[in-house]
Amino acid sequence: MIVQILTGLLLGLHYTPQIKEAYTTIMHILREVYFGWSFRSLHSSGASFLFFLLALHLGRALIYGSYFSIPRVWFSGAGLFLFLMPTAFLGYVLPWGQMSFWGATVITNLFSGVPCLVPWVCGGFLVSNPSLSRFFVFHFLLPFLIVGFFSLHLFYLHALSSSQPLGSNTNNKIAFFPFIFSKDLFGFTLLGLLGFLEIFFDFISLSHPENAFEVTVLVTPLHIVPEWYFLEFYAILKAVPNKIAGFMILFSSLFWGAVFGELKTLSRLVLSYSLSFSGIFLVGFCALWIGGQLPQEKFISSGRFLFLAPAPHCILNPLRLFPSQLYGLTPGVGLGVRPQGTAFP
């Protein structure tokens, strides 16, 4: 996150948020500014690496049950995720390439269900100069708000310490140095190597090739797709035939993480069934693949089935936990977690 802010500040010194100059300033940064190409590649690739690490971090929290043992950390992380999504989208629009313009047009048109919201957001009835200026301002300011949420996230984390498979109220903890430090150092080294290969050799095509061309409002791309970390949300828009309903489902899907920290029965359910973790990630990866495909009937139907199939499981399975609540079982017992003041027989 610090690297994103520093590279963003350097790029912002040379960027002009005008529709006739935005693409030109990007080319100026790439060709004329000393090491501008490296800063731009580090900034754009860093966003992908950031969301990749965020997915791994979220998977660890789901497996370890952080939402159950340290809910404040979970909710602060959910708020952090809510601010990361619009920040990344606004940054995707700023290069003013073909995919940037048409992606912004698709998303802003979703607001048309609310009267007067599109002119209020875009400064007009379409994406234009006022829109790009506002996107640049919010993309510049939101990261500092994200740093505040990140500090709050760390504060709640260090107040109780990190979670583990046995819960948080256990005595078998290990020291941060040298055990966790050495593991994190190895992970950062591996990530730095991948980032070096991506920045200098571009061995993974993370951006759409259409975005390398300047905006042409008279030519619509064959397939308008966002960045890869937005594909699962784009799959929701494809699966829902109504625009307003799709936007409402898309917006509500951003708050799915709050369900785990709020509903204790669902939390115990997911803690009890490790298969639920595999199902969550399987649905996520399938949604990424479906979101990147052409809007054909087979992919649209697959997306609808993919998002509706887990519904009966989530509704009916919490009923199994009612007897345990009636008998007053302590949350975590049966999962290898020892309540405070007790011992295993």
Q: pLDDT (tens digit, 0 to 9) for every residue of the chain, 345 residues total?
A: 888 999 999 999 999 999 999 999 999 999 999 999 999 999 998 999 999 889 888 888 877 777 777 788 888 888 898 899 999 999 999 999 999 999 999 999 888 888 888 888 888 888 989 999 999 999 999 999 999 889 999 888 887 777 666 666 656 677 777 878 888 899 889 988 988 888 888 777 778 888 889 998 888 888 888 888 899 888 888 888 888 888 888 888 888 777 776 655 454 444 444 445 666 677 778 888 888 888 888 888 888 887 776 555 555 444 444 334 333 444 444 344 444 444 444
* Separation between Cα atoms, residue 132 and residue 11, nearest integer Å: 16
Nearest CA among 19, 204, 16, 225 for reference residue 103 = 225
* Separation between Cα atoms, residue 312 and residue 322, nearest integer Å: 17
> Which amino acid is located at 194 in the chain?
L
Check if the beta carbon of residue 14 is closer than 8 Å to that of residue 25.
yes
User: Which residues touch 84 (CB under 8 Å, ≥6 apart)?
Assistant: 50, 51, 54, 146
* Separation between Cα atoms, residue 224 and residue 57, nearest integer Å: 29
Q: Which two tokens stand for residue 204?
A: 């993974």
Q: For residue 168, give Cα distances in angstroms to 62, 66, 122, 158, 281.
A: 14, 8, 46, 12, 24
* pLDDT score of 331: 41
The residues carrying an active-site annotation are 158, 162, 183-184, 227
* pLDDT score of 263: 56
Q: For residue 21, give Cα distances in angstroms to 97, 108, 137, 235, 246.
A: 12, 22, 16, 32, 34
* pLDDT score of 295: 84
* pLDDT score of 94: 93
* pLDDT score of 249: 86
Nearest CA among 234, 218, 215, 217 for reference residue 226 = 234
* Separation between Cα atoms, residue 37 and residue 30, nearest integer Å: 4
* pLDDT score of 232: 85
Check if the beta carbon of residue 242 is closer than 8 Å to that of residue 234.
no
Q: DSSP code of 43?
A: H
- Which ranges of the chain does DSSP label H, i.e. alpha helix? 2-12, 22-31, 36-64, 66-69, 71-93, 98-109, 117-122, 129-160, 181-201, 231-239, 243-253, 256-262, 264-272, 275-291, 297-308, 310-316, 322-326
* pLDDT score of 98: 92
Q: Which two tokens stand for residue 145?
A: 């708000």
Q: In whole angstroms, how large is the CA radius of gyration of the chain? A: 22
Task: Concatenate the DSSP letters of all residues of 198-257 into one string.
Answer: HHHH--S--S-GGGGSBP-TT---SS----GGGHHHHHHHHH-SSHHHHHHHHHHHTTHH
123 phi-psi bin (left φ>0, alpha ψ -120 to 50, beta other): left
